Amino acid sequence: MILIDALYINKGGGAVLLQYLIEKILAHPQRDRFFFLLDPRFDKPAELDRNFIVINNKMSARIRFYKANRNAYTKVFCFANTPPPVNLAAACYTYFHNQKLLEAPKQKFNPKFTKLYLKYLITKLYNRNTDYYIVQTPHMVAELTGLGLKDAAHCLMIPFYDSSKYKVAHPPFSDRVKDEFVFISNPSPQKNYPKLLDAWEHLLAQGHTPLLHVTIDDTAPELLARVAVLNAKGTRIVNHTYLDPKELYFNCPYLIFPSVMESFGLPLIEACDSGMKILASGLPYVYDVIKPSLTFNPYDKVSIADSVLKALTTELPFPQVVTKDEVSKLLALLLH
């Protein structure tokens, strides 16, 4: 039996990838060889009607589970950055998808990183319990090896994502409203919303009012207040809080992506497949997954604003996806 340990996965990009992995496993002829450990907050698909258990997402409950099932599995795949809390005889792989967690040791004296640093210390404590880390991109291999968690030979790069979701018929670029930009993301600090809003304020000061679609929820009241102030001054910013991105991706011409830290950057691929042109941070995580239409300095509001004006006045090239879905390779690794 192969254990997929997805405790702690319940929302965001991790949940999207977990849903996709479960879908592929359930469609596999050897689906009954897999057993899932799930977080109670995760919205499991109805098709998963057996071979799973939901336990409390406390560390103590996870430890009890592993101690009780120490010899039950031939392979273990931990989905949430943290290796098993118990050393197992089974081969163990840990999927690492949180670059911010790897940033924590460099910021250990920053109060904003205290919680993340403690999580990193737990990962480091259990590091010996995993044989390999699996990541999506070259820069994540560099991050893991740079901290000395594993050498390059024990960091496997196996990107996977639903490559068919957005590869369907959508309106041509020429039919889309010319001056609409989209940034669909939670308001975590690394997403760089404040600098993006600074850029929109700078554009307004120059007499430009392109429309910006965002998704800021009530966990960031200061950003919601800033959007309200900017709109009162004359900017055009529409906050959707949360929505399925497909409608915006199919009907707006530009994705603008100012994030300063991503382990994979799935929205970049989705936007590319949706026929959008992409303005993105000139950082390694971007080039790991796409060749963008245009890049900017994400720390400089003027650079971001200038890229917007260039998009509105210049015929930019369409972006290109440079990575690929290797979920079949991942399943083969676990099954053999």
Domain boundaries, the chain: 2-157, 173-321
Q: Which of 16, 17, 14, 34 is nearest to 25 (CA)?
A: 34
CA–CA separation, 190 and 212 (whole Å): 19
**Which segments of 147-209 does DSSP mark as H helices, in order?**
193-205
Give the pLDDT confidence score for residue 109 in this predicted structure: 86
CATH 3.40.50.2000 correct for 2-157: yes
Domain 173-321: top CATH class: alpha beta
Give the pLDDT confidence score for residue 274 in this predicted structure: 96
Give the pLDDT confidence score for residue 157 in this predicted structure: 96
The model's pTM is 0.88
Give the pLDDT confidence score for residue 86 in this predicted structure: 95
Tokens 């910013």 appear where?
Answer: 237
CB 100 within 8 A of CB 116: yes
Answer positive or negative: Cα dihedral of 226, 228, 234, 235: positive
CA–CA separation, 252 and 239 (whole Å): 15
Over the chain (336 residues), what is each successive 10-residue block's mean pLDDT? Answer: 95 88 96 96 92 95 96 95 94 93 88 89 95 95 94 96 89 94 93 98 98 95 98 98 90 97 92 97 96 98 98 97 96 96
Residue 190 is given by DSSP the state: G
Take residue 241 and report the two structure tokens written for it.
Answer: 């809080």
Give the pLDDT confidence score for residue 121 in this predicted structure: 94
Give the pLDDT confidence score for residue 111 in this predicted structure: 86
